[in-house]
Amino acid sequence: MLTQRDSQNRDEPGYPLIPVWTGEQIRAAEKPLLDAGEGEALMRRASWGLAAHILQILQAQRGSVYGATVVGLIGSGNNGGDGLYALASLRRRGVDARAVLLRPTCHTQALTAFCQAGGQLQTTIDDGADLILDAVVGTGFSGSFDAPSLPQDSVVVACDLPSGVDAETGAVRGTAIRADHTVTFGGLKTGLLLGQGRAFSGVLHTVDIGLGAHLPEPAGYVMSELVDIPGTTGGAGITTQAGVDNLLRFRPRDTRRIDHSSGSGGAARNLAGEAVPVLRRRGPDADAHKYSRGVLHLLVGSPRYPGAAQLSVGAALATGVGMAQVQAPDAVAQAVVNHWPETVASDQAERAAAMVIGPGLGDDSQRLAQAEALLQQSRRNAVPCVLDASALELITPELLADAGYAGSLGKHTVLTPHTGEAQKLAERLGDLQLQDALAEQKVLAAAPRLAQLTGAVVVLKGPVTVIAAPGDEPPLLHTEPAPGLATAGTGDVLAGIIGALLATQEESARYCAALGVALHAAAARRLDPRGHGRFGASALLGVLAD
C-alpha cells in the first residue's frame, strides 16, 4: 500500500544511478572469461550488438537498411575484430559493408568471416558512405592516436570507445575520432563520460556481453536525469542494453511520455526486476511545522558581495525549507529581507537543522571570523553544513588536527570547491596525490582523495561534477551537459540548494549533495535546453521549484 508520502514522491523527478567502470576494470572482468576460452563468444556477442545498433541507426536515418553503405575503419586488435564481425553481419542484412585496414595486421578469424560474407577491402574512405564505423582502437589504446580525416556527411559510430579517447579519463591523446554514437560493451566506461570523452562519444549505447558476475564494484555511479521508467534502468552490477540506452537518451522534455501511473511505488527497476538506487527529493510531512521541517542558517554575503546572499537564500527557499535565516551585516541582511520577505535575519544559529557558510564572504576578515565560529559550532554539534567559496580557506592542517575530531570535519560537512579551490586546498594540506590528480584532471580520483583527507563529503564542481564521501562508497558523477552554468553566482545557488536539502531531507549529506547537484543542473537544462547559456544565476531560482 502506498503511504501519503510515497504518493507525493511518485510525482517528484528522480535520478537513477547507473554504474560506470574504468576500461581497466572491464578488461579485468573479461580476463577470466578469456582464460576460459570464451574470447570468441564475447566478441561475437559484442559484434552482434554493434551490428544491431548500426541497423537501428541506419533505419532511423534512411528509412531502410538495404543498400546502405558502411565503411569500417579497422585496427590491429580485438576492437578491429569486433568491427569486422559486425560488418560481416551487416552484409548478411543487405548492407554494402566495406573495410579499410588501417594497420598492417588485423584479427584473422574476423577478417575471414568478413571475406566469407562477401566483404571487400579498400584503401580509401569513401565520401558517400552513409555510416563510418570506427573500430581502430578501443580499451587497448596506448600512446597517442592520429585520427584520419573523415567525410563530413557520414554518421560516425564508434566501436566500444572512440579511437584516441582514454578509456579511464576521457582525455584525447593526440587526435580522436568524433563519434555521433558509441556502442560500448560490458558496461559504461568512465572515459565515455569524463573529460573530452563525453563530447567525442555522442549518444551512448551499451551491449551486455555477459560480464555480469565478473564486474567489480563500479568506479562510480552516474546520475541520470530522469524520472521513473519501470523496466528500463541499468542497475548496480548489471548493465542492460535497452535500459542504459533509454536512460541516456531521455531528456527532461521527454518526461511527459513517462507513465507515472504504472510502476512500483516510485522505484526504478532494471530489466531483471531489481530496484536501482534513485535520488529523489521528499516533500514536507503533512503534519510538519516550520521548525520540524528544518531551519537553514546561512552565513553569506558581505558589503562587497551582497548578491551572493540573495542567490543562496533564494535557492534555499525555492528548494524548500521550513525557514531560511540569514546572518549578514545589516545592509546585506536588509537587502535579502527586502527581496525575500520570508527570510529572518539572525545572528543565532541555535535552531538550525543545517548551515551554509561561505558564499559572498570574500576576504572580509570580520565575516571570515564569524564563519570560523559558526563552523566550530557545526562541528561541536554535528550540524550538517555546506562550506563554500572563501569558507573553504578555513580548512587548514591545524583545523583538521584539532583534538577531539579525529582529524576529520565529519560526514555531515559538505565542501563545494571548484577545481581551482580544490587545488589551493591540496597545496594547503600539502598533499601531492591530490595535487597530481587535479593537475591530470583525474576528477574521479581527486574528489575521493579530498574526502579522505578532510573526512567531509566533497562536491568537486566543474563541467562534470563528482560527489565523494569518506569511506568506501563509490563516488557519484553528474555528467549531463549544462554549459550555461559557467557563469558567476551559480555556485552560490548550488550551496543554497544543498543547504536546504541538508536541512529537510532524512538522508546522508552525500545523498543531499548529489541530489542538489542534479537539481541544480536540471534547472539549468529546463531553462536552457539547447545550452545557449543566455541566462544569469538568478534565473535559476525561478525554475528550481518546477
Ligand X SMILES: NC(=O)C1=CN([C@@H]2O[C@H](COP(=O)(O)OP(=O)(O)OC[C@H]3O[C@@H](n4cnc5c(N)ncnc54)[C@H](O)[C@@H]3O)[C@@H](O)[C@H]2O)[C@@H](O)CC1
Ligand Y SMILES: Nc1ncnc2c1ncn2[C@@H]1O[C@H](COP(=O)(O)OP(=O)(O)O)[C@@H](O)[C@H]1O
89 binds ligand X (CB under 6 A): no
486 binds ligand Y (CB under 6 A): yes
User: Of ligand Y, ligand X, none, which one sits near residue 79, judging by CB under 5 to 8 A according to partner kind?
Assistant: ligand X
- In the list 186, 448, 491, 499, the residue contacting ligand Y (rule: CB under 6 A) is 491
Smallest gap from residue 536 Cβ to ligand Y (A): 11
Residue (of 500, 152, 439) closest to 316 by Cα position: 500
- Whether the CB-CB separation of 114 and 86 falls below 8 Å is answered with no
What residue type is 110 in one-letter code?
A
480 binds ligand Y (CB under 6 A): no
Q: 72 by DSSP, 3-state: which?
A: strand
User: Of ligand X, ligand Y, none, which one sits near residue 480, judging by CB under 5 to 8 A according to partner kind?
Assistant: none
407 conformational bin, left if phi > 0, alpha if psi -120 to 50, beta if neither: left
HSE-CB for 192 with a 13 A CA cutoff: 31
462 binds ligand Y (CB under 6 A): yes
- Whether the CB-CB separation of 141 and 27 falls below 8 Å is answered with no
Nearer to ligand Y, 265 or 536 (CB): 536
Nearer to ligand Y, 162 or 489 (CB): 489
Residue whose grid cell is 529581507: 337
- Does the annotation flag 464 for ligand binding? yes
197 binds ligand X (CB under 6 A): no
Residue (of 297, 264, 277) closest to 234 by Cα position: 277
461 binds ligand Y (CB under 6 A): yes
Question: How many residues are given for the chain?
Answer: 546
- In the list 22, 25, 78, 435, the residue contacting ligand X (rule: CB under 6 A) is 78
Query: Which range binds ligand X by CB under 6 A, 93-101, 138-146, 228-236, 302-310?
Result: 138-146
In the numeric block, which cell numbers belong to residue 168?
579511464
CA angle, 507 then 336 then 417, to 5°: 45
The whole-angstrom distance between residue 531's C-alpha and the CA centroid of its chain comes to 17
- Does the annotation flag 418 for ligand binding? yes
Smallest gap from residue 482 Cβ to ligand Y (A): 4
List of residues 6+ apart from 369 with CB closer than 8 A: none
When CB distances to ligand Y are compared, the closest residue is 491
User: Of ligand Y, ligand X, none, which one sits near residue 184, judging by CB under 5 to 8 A according to partner kind?
Assistant: none
Q: Strand ranges (DSSP E) for 86-172? A: 96-101, 120-121, 131-135, 155-159
198 binds ligand Y (CB under 6 A): no
Q: Which x/- pattern over 163-192 shows residues binding ligand X (rule: CB under 6 A)?
A: ----------------------x-------
Q: 217 by DSSP, 3-state: which?
A: coil
Q: Which residues are annotated as a binding site?
A: 308, 360, 418, 461-465, 491-492
Residues in touch with ligand X (CB under 6 A): 30, 34, 39, 42-43, 46, 75-80, 82, 137-145, 159-161, 185, 209
